[in-house]
Amino acid sequence: MAAAAPPPPPTPTPTPPSTVPADSTPIGHPLFSRVRLAAPSDVPHIHKLIHQMAVFERLTHLFSVTESSLSANLLSSPPFRSFTVFILEVSPKPFPENSPHNTNPNYTPVVRILNSDLPVDDPEREIFKSEDENVVVAGFVLFFPNFSTFLGKPGFYVEDLFVRECYRRKGLGKILLSAVAKQAVKMDYGRVEWVVLDWNINAIRFYEEMGAQILPEWRICRLTGDSLQVYGNDN
């Protein structure tokens, strides 16, 4: 089914978020998390995250994306009207008040605190260092608008959602997916959809606990590679 262009999103009036949510009190070893819109400087991190996702999903034989192709195709359109990426960042300390990511006119970052008895051991901290001090990139979600003819409303389709291994099972995946759902509600969109591999039992359980319906009667159909190119050569 062809996807119709969704209506333009409302223009928000951004207010810089507090680096410490009012309803949270850091205890033990707090992990501050932030969901924000991706910037061009995030492309190298996005590329590395996609490769880690391909390894996890046992699909490295299909991995061919480059930083150049990401730069050319992502982040070039207004967010929420086309391909949109939320970056998940974490820090053992509050996010700096003067961070440039606090004042994006299109999206106010979501900041949360997760409390843990032990600090997170991140062996890739240096590889995933963010622009802000003490901050590292922990994951991402990529989504774009589609359209439901039955609902008569646009929705969001989540292409990828990924959290690095050392930060899993801490509620960060839920924070990412909830950010997409919250944006859909804000724009009066009808639904958020994604797919899950049938062997990923932990993910299926996690999505069901969030209230998602798993639809076993639907199957993905895909034209790609040589099969797709046939149509480009058809006169």
Which residues participate in catalysis according to the annotation?
207
| Of residues 41, 124, 140, 52, the one with CA closest to residue 89 | 140
Counting other chains too, the contacts that 119-126 makes at CB distance below 8 Å and 24 or more residues apart are: 119/29, 119/92, 120/29, 120/31, 120/90, 120/166, 120/167, 120/170, 121/166, 122/164, 122/166, 122/167, 123/166, 124/164, 124/166
3-state class percentages of the chain: helix first, strand second, coil last, to nearest 5: 30, 20, 50
